[in-house]
Amino acid sequence: MRKSVLHRRIQEEALRRHSNAIKPHITEENKLARIRFCLSMLEERNLANNPTISCARSVVARPCFDTYGNVLFDGKIGVFPFIYKEPAKRNSKNRVAGTLVTKPILSITQDVIRSCLIENVLPAIKEKWPHYSRNSTIYIQQDNARTHISPFDDKFCEAAQGDGFDIQLTCQPPNSPNLNVLDLGYFKAIQSLQYREAPKTIDELVAAVKKSFHELSPRSFISSSVLKLLILCS
């Protein structure tokens, strides 16, 4: 099917997005790991009352509101595209030789992930994290992809402990894609906004996603329970 035909069908609302529920095989060890992981998200002082997910202990930050409904913390840490720029090698109808061209990083390695965390993610957390919970340990949750660095990575740990912050890296339990809040809720919500821009280039795609990220209301994804740190891979 040609792209133009597909585009018309979407405009006519003849097509709709659909996703299938993922049901991985869960072993007994997986079940125990999931229970321990969920319990680690609870604050001990609340266990005797009504347990709540602690946004102060995790980088899966939930938006915070005061008693009047005003936003105290929108939970949005940042959008960090995996891209680089290089000069164009030859002239074309769109640009002259030497013009900087944006390209995606096609090979995401542990070095790329480590650099993104240290150079982008950690500074953004330290800048935007609410002052009233900075004395708590902040956990950055990641899945178990091979390219992700170890929670005990020396360079990350050294960078994460400065400026009075205690930031640690943790992995979600194995075989637990349903614990990935980004895939289940936030990406789906932001994608509907990004589609309206119809980007044609990588620069336009990055701009559209960033615009969608900032325009999305905290109340529109509060039902997802928590908002995980968003790292965009173009």
Domains of the chain, start order:
56-224 (3.30.420)
Q: What is the crossing angle of helices 202-215 and 187-194, to 10°? A: 120
Contact 198, 209 (CB under 8 A): no
Task: Give the confidence band of 155 by pLDDT, cuts at 50, 70, 90.
Answer: very high
Going by pLDDT thresholds of 50, 70 and 90, the confidence category of residue 19 is low
Burial class (CB in 10 A: 0-12, 13-18, 19+), 121: buried
**Main-chain phi, psi angles of 120, to 5 degrees:** -120, -55
Lowest mean pLDDT among 4-8, 14-18, 150-154: 14-18
Nearest C-alpha neighbor of 143 from the set 35, 82, 228: 228
pLDDT of the residue at 232: 33
Angstrom distance (rounded) from CA 137 to CA 140? 10
Strand-pair category, 138-142 with 167-171: parallel
Listed in sequence order, the residues at least 6 apart from 9 whose beta carbon sits closer than 8 Å to its beta carbon are 15
pLDDT band (50, 70, 90) for residue 172: confident
Partner residues linked to 142 by β-bridges: 171
- Does residue 138 contact residue 125 with C-beta atoms inside 8 Å? yes
Task: Give the 3-state secondary structure of residue 99.
Answer: coil
Q: What is the mean pLDDT of residues 42-62?
A: 44
